[in-house]
Structure 1
Amino acid sequence: MIATPAGFGSWIYVLEDGDEPLATIKPPSILNKSGEITMGAVPFAIEAEGLTGGTLRLLFEGLVVATAERQTSFWRRYHVTLDASLAVDTPTDLVLASQFGIRAFALEADGERLGMIRRASLLRRNAEVEILESVPLVVKAFCLAVVLVEWRRSS
């Protein structure tokens, strides 16, 4: 899957599989602590907590269904906790951690790699999302939103 910015300079991304749009991701920013993931006509809200947004929550109809908590201020590593309603064939505790030397994040559960999110090229801001099919699409989109928040902070 490839995520591309909706326009020049935009931080709103469209996640696509081939030519089929799957989700639109609007990550929270420092000035606006709320974001959104839209899958078809189904909206999910994203809320950032704290001055630097160290904790991100994914909400569906006002209920928290996933949380990504930054473990320390110095490491780009998040502990992702999923609600049982999302984690059908996926563990409920995941780790999303940056990879040394490259602009990529690995998604892991119990020490096993489930996939990667990385820049698709050096010159463009497209993101490549390679995560196992067993992981629900909304979880992939939420993890991408967390990565986009980190990339936005570092740019």
Structure 2
Amino acid sequence: MTIVMGTDTHPPDMIQNMQIGLLTARIAEGKPDAVRAGDLYDAATLGGATALGRSDLGRLARGARADLVVIALDDPAMGQIIDPIQTIVLSGCGRDVRTVVIDGRFVMEDGAIPGVDHEAFRTRAQFQFDRLVAQYPDRTIGHPPVHAIFGSTYPVC
């Protein structure tokens, strides 16, 4: 049986999703060894390639596409290294990704995507989100004010 893993969450953090999958599977089974980190890693890499019938994806091998992700294991927040896969799945997150190479082309280097103005994107996204939030009272039963729909975690004085 092929198990495939993908993500459509925000932020799209495949590492975090592997971690959640690992932990929830272990909780559901009631056994700390019910699922290995490698099982989730394989589902996120080889599983998708297998489901697509693509032997040129999801692996490092002669003739395979040159898709690579470089993850910083030397960051103190990563903690002690068990082995690279377990450490990434148990302690990592998408913010630990430093470099991404897709089909031999660098699309992210040292945490930055060349040619992308991240601050401009963040500002634009926040503006669009704020505009969307402002429309919620009109689209919500009883038309409560925005602060009742999107309340602060703690009271704002």
TM range (shorter): under 0.3
Q: Which has the higher helix share?
A: 2
Based on CA coordinates, which of the two structures has the bigger radius of gyration?
2
Instruction: Provide TM-score, normalisation by structure 1.
Output: 0.27
**Which one has the bigger strand percentage?**
1
